[in-house]
Structure 1
Amino acid sequence: MNQEHGRSMIFSSLFNDDFLARPFVRQTVMCPWFYLHAEVREGKEFVGEMLMVSSFDSLKDILEQQHDSFRIRSIHYVTPGFVNKTGQWCMEPLLEASEAINQDGQRIPILTVAGRSYSQLEISTEIDPANVKVLFTHKADGHD
């Protein structure tokens, strides 16, 4: 999905010399991904880290790894224009990430942002609400 470019350079007169020659990641496939703000304990303090996660399964794994020294503060869902129907990339705060089981027993991710929810379009979304497991809920506590 992406390639890390450790030796590539960003050329621009807008940035000072210290900013040049920074590594970057280029996404080569037009698919949704997740941008996570995590906090990791270092000694007595927490430091922020940003994680770019390429799949719902990876997001689930990370959410399950949370503990006293590692926590997810916020998640943004990043979608290309053909997914979000705007014609351009969007980065939207994720309000809730859930997983449902449909009538065929298939697991369906449900991702809720302001004003809409995303799910797998090719799978029937007839879901029994009793079969929905909430994995993440955004907490509006001012730490974003």
Structure 2
Amino acid sequence: MVQDETESQPPQPAPPPPVIVKVASEYEGEWKHGICGCFNNCGLCLYAYFCPCIVAGQNAAAMGESCVAYGCLFLVPVCNIIFNTTLRGKIREKYRIPGTTYNDCCIFTWCTLCSVIQSAQQLKVDTIAPMDEKMPRD
């Protein structure tokens, strides 16, 4: 009898599992700008000063939350602290920034605009469309 070619070959080892390489963000584990880094982007600083609810809403939208809800709740005294503290915590979690909910709450309560701007800079929301361009709506 003639042996089949496949029977005469030794069994092939299983291929090794694929290597997954995670590329770390340049700013992973820390904020891009400090809490007083508002003036690193003067345009964003002025925009947040005169229209903080819009910047807060854009921060929420960048994190997959409702822009309109967060923007409107920014104007409601106790709700703004709760929702923006939660949003800041989600940003810290996404970028693996150490901190606590208590710290987020204190920063938002006492340095509201600086907190909103710091979050916007982290999320790169500072690429706000000029006034002559149409803004996409949900």
Greater Rg over alpha carbons, structure: 2
Whether these two folds match at TM > 0.5 is no
Q: Which has the higher strand share?
A: 1
Q: Which has the higher helix share?
A: 2
If the length of structure 2 is used for normalisation, what is the TM-score? 0.25
